[in-house]
Amino acid sequence: MSLVSVVVIAVWAMLPAYVPNNVAVVAGGGRPIDGGRTWREARLLGDGKTWRGTVVGTAAGVSLAFGLNYLTPVATEALGIGVPKFTLRVAVTLALGAMLGDIGASLLKRRLDRERGAPVPGLDQLDFALGALVLTAVVAPEWFSRTFTIPVLLAVLVATPLLHVGTNAIAYALSLKDEPY
Ligand code: CTP
Ligand code: MG
């Protein structure tokens, strides 16, 4: 398989996992998931993880997966690359897994005494991708191993931080996000 095909499949398969966190930035607000609770003198998750952001972000990722399914024949025809189709189960594991990965990172950051919004390079760029990959691998192992071959997985690990840095810089420039990371 060519490098271009590998990268296209990697990005296509991960799009339902890329969108939720960005949508949460716009849709977030309201009641924090941890309800203000603390654990060992720090917030459990912090005000940056809200129910609304999580629900709307997940719904956006799932919707995108079905939108992409609609485009599968066009993409396959135009690019000559067999992009994967998303089942409902996989759409949910990718989108919800991304949100859970990000929530898990906040849980970890609060334990490390990092305030809301404080950067943790590496974790910030990969938490959502790892959450999406792990949840999909556990809940839909067949789809996972068929789609995420070793080269595709490697492409995900390289492309994700680059895309994340790029989209966050744009969100920051548009004043949608308080920090550029
Ligand atoms: N957001 C949300 N719910 C989520 C994830 C994000 O409402 N599950 C919204 C919040 O408004 C948050 C913004 O998106 O402030 C940016 O997300 P992120 O960078 O993940 O949160 P931070 O505010 O930086 O907080 P943390 O340090 O916990 O990552
Ligand atoms: Mg942040």
Q: Does 1 score more than 90 pLDDT?
A: no
Torsion sign, CA atoms 156, 60, 109, 172 = positive
Provide the mean pLDDT of the chain.
96
Report, in angstroms and rounded to the nearest whole number, the Rg of the chain calculated over CA atoms: 17
Q: Which tens digit of pLDDT belongs to each residue from 33-49?
A: 999 999 999 999 999 99
> Confidence class of residue 173 from pLDDT cuts 50, 70 and 90?
very high
- Most trustworthy range by pLDDT among 54-63, 116-125, 159-168: 54-63
Q: With contact defined as beta carbons under 8 Å apart, do 43 and 36 qualify?
A: yes
pLDDT number for residue 124: 92
Q: Which residues pair with 50 in a beta bridge?
A: 32
Judge if the beta carbon of residue 109 lies within 6 A of ligand 1: yes
Q: Which residues pair with 151 in a beta bridge?
A: none
Nearest ligand 1 atom to the CA of 102 is 20
Give the amino acid at 28: G
- For residue 3, how far is its CA from the centre of ligand 1 (angstroms)? 34
Q: Which residues pair with 43 in a beta bridge?
A: 38
61 compared with 167, residue with greater pLDDT: 61
Q: Which tens digit of pLDDT belongs to each residue from 127-171?
A: 999 999 999 999 999 999 999 999 999 999 999 999 999 988 998
- For residue 61, how far is its CA from the centre of ligand 1 (angstroms)? 16
- For residue 65, how far is its CA from the centre of ligand 2 (angstroms)? 25
Note the pTM of the prediction, 2 decimals: 0.95
Task: For residue 50, give the 3-state DSSP assignment.
Answer: strand
As a whole-number percent, the residues of the chain with pLDDT over 90 amount to: 93
Half-sphere exposure of residue 141: CA atoms within 13 angstroms, side-chain side: 1
Phi, psi (degrees; rounded to nearest 5) at 37: -70, 150
> Confidence class of residue 181 from pLDDT cuts 50, 70 and 90?
confident
Judge if the beta carbon of residue 46 lies within 6 A of ligand 1: yes
Q: Does 177 score more than 90 pLDDT?
A: no
Judge if the beta carbon of residue 102 lies within 6 A of ligand 1: yes
- Which of 18, 19, 23, 25 has most ligand 1 atoms within 8 Å of CB, for mutation? 25
Between the CA of residue 129 and those of 28, 32, 58, 123, what are the distances in Å?
A: 20, 22, 14, 10
Gap between the Cα atoms of 131 and 148, Å rounded: 14
> Confidence class of residue 178 from pLDDT cuts 50, 70 and 90?
confident
69 compared with 1, residue with greater pLDDT: 69
Q: With contact defined as beta carbons under 8 Å apart, do 147 and 84 qualify?
A: yes
